[in-house]
């Protein structure tokens, strides 16, 4: 049995678009010492492939981080199978709240050095000494306390479309950058209540331990992240302090938490919070695009890319050949190609 899906992604996406079965999107993580990540990875792949699990899993010596799509009629089989793994028995499963069943189109399991790229040397501090986990009700209570500072531990393109009211939103591209930025911003507030949150909780596990290590005295983290918060708010009838969309790292690119639209189309500036990837495979930039601009640019980030995708497929491949796009895909809406963002940057830049 092959341990990788080699079918062209366009074929898989087309197949997914016509799939009729109900599927559930879930995520989970667990920090735990895994002696043989590659063996563990291969065993997981064989097991999950048999029950038609799709999604993305990172496995490392330090643990596992997973975002998955599971057939609804196989969910109990999946859960029982997962919980049969001793260190994953009872692990919290974050269930998506705004789910069309088309979040992933194949199963991909990768062995990594870390399950989240944080840039920290885990040997220098106690990674298990995390902040106090709080539920949605406790989060809301802490948020009302004037002695509390709420910090979004996600990247700029995530908080741009949705965040908690009153939160500090670091303007960073990666989690690795964010830890240092947050440390600098809050260096004179070590006795405040530091209330941290992220998408599903995994980034706060490491971040809260680090903030305690460098001297912050009252560190809290939202248990289960925004995903679990939204579920609790809905089921318990609590006040929703999150505005906008929760960015997610799958084909959906977002799940709506409130009706507020707090961001703008990166091409025309109209109110919009719909993320997309440029349809030019040589670009694939992540940005926000409204319906009108999607029509105008044919799903691309620029006129240049629109003209490229109009060419025959072989001609497009020739244009891409030998060109190293580097980390272009990770620029996440900061490209000079985007007219509104370019103009906004020009008007907000310091004048010389």
Catalytic positions are 198
Distance CA 104, CA 18 (A): 13
Q: Which of 325, 222, 314 is nearest to 278 (CA)?
A: 325
**Residues 122-134: b if buried by 16+ CB within 10 A, e if exposed:** eeeeebeebbeeb
CA nearest 162: which of 230, 239, 245, 260? 245
Supply the DSSP string of 303-339, one letter for each residue.
HHHHHHHTS-HHHHHHHHTT---TTGGGS-S--TT-H
- DSSP structural state of residue 351: P
CB 286 within 8 A of CB 324: no
In terms of DSSP H, where are the helices of the chain? Answer: 9-17, 37-50, 75-83, 136-144, 156-159, 175-185, 202-213, 225-236, 291-296, 303-309, 313-320, 339-348
CA distances 149 to 166, 204, 219, 312, 344, Å, are 8, 15, 10, 53, 28
């Amino acid at each position: 049995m092959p341990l990788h899906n080699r079918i062209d992604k366009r074929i898989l996406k087309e197949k997914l678009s016509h799939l009729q079965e109900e599927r559930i999107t879930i995520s989970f993580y667990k920090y735990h010492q895994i002696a043989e990540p590659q063996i563990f990875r291969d065993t997981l792949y064989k097991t999950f492939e048999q029950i038609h699990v799709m999604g993305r899993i990172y496995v490392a010596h330090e643990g596992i981080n997973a975002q998955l799509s599971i057939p609804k009629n196989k969910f109990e089989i999946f859960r029982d199978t997962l919980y049969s793994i001793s260190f994953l028995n009872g692990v919290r499963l974050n269930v998506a709240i705004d789910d069309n069943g088309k979040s992933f189109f194949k199963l991909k399991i990768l062995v990594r050095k870390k399950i989240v790229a944080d840039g920290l040397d885990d040997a220098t501090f106690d990674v298990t000494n995390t902040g106090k986990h709080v539920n949605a009700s406790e989060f809301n209570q802490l948020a009302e306390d004037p002695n509390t500072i709420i910090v979004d531990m996600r990247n700029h393109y995530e908080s741009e479309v949705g965040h908690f009211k009153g939160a500090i939103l670091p303007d960073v591209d990666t989690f690795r950058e964010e830890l240092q930025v947050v440390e600098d911003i809050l260096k004179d507030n070590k006795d405040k209540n530091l209330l941290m949150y992220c998408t599903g909780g995994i980034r706060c596990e490491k971040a809260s331990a680090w903030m305690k290590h460098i001297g912050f005295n009252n560190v809290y983290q939202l248990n289960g992240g925004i995903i679990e918060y939204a579920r609790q708010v809905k089921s318990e009838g609590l006040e929703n302090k999150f505005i906008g969309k929760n960015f997610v790292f799958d084909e959906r690119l977002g799940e709506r938490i409130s009706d507020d639209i707090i961001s703008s189309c990166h091409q025309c500036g109209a109110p919009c919070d719909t993320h997309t990837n440029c349809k030019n495979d040589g670009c694939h930039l992540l940005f926000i695009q409204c319906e009108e601009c999607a029509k105008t640019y044919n799903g691309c980030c620029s006129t240049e890319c629109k003209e490229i995708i109009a060419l025959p497929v072989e001609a497009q491949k020739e244009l891409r050949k030998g060109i190293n796009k580097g980390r272009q895909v990770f620029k996440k809406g900061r490209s000079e190609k985007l007219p509104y963002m370019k103009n906004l940057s020009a008007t907000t830049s310091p004048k010389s």
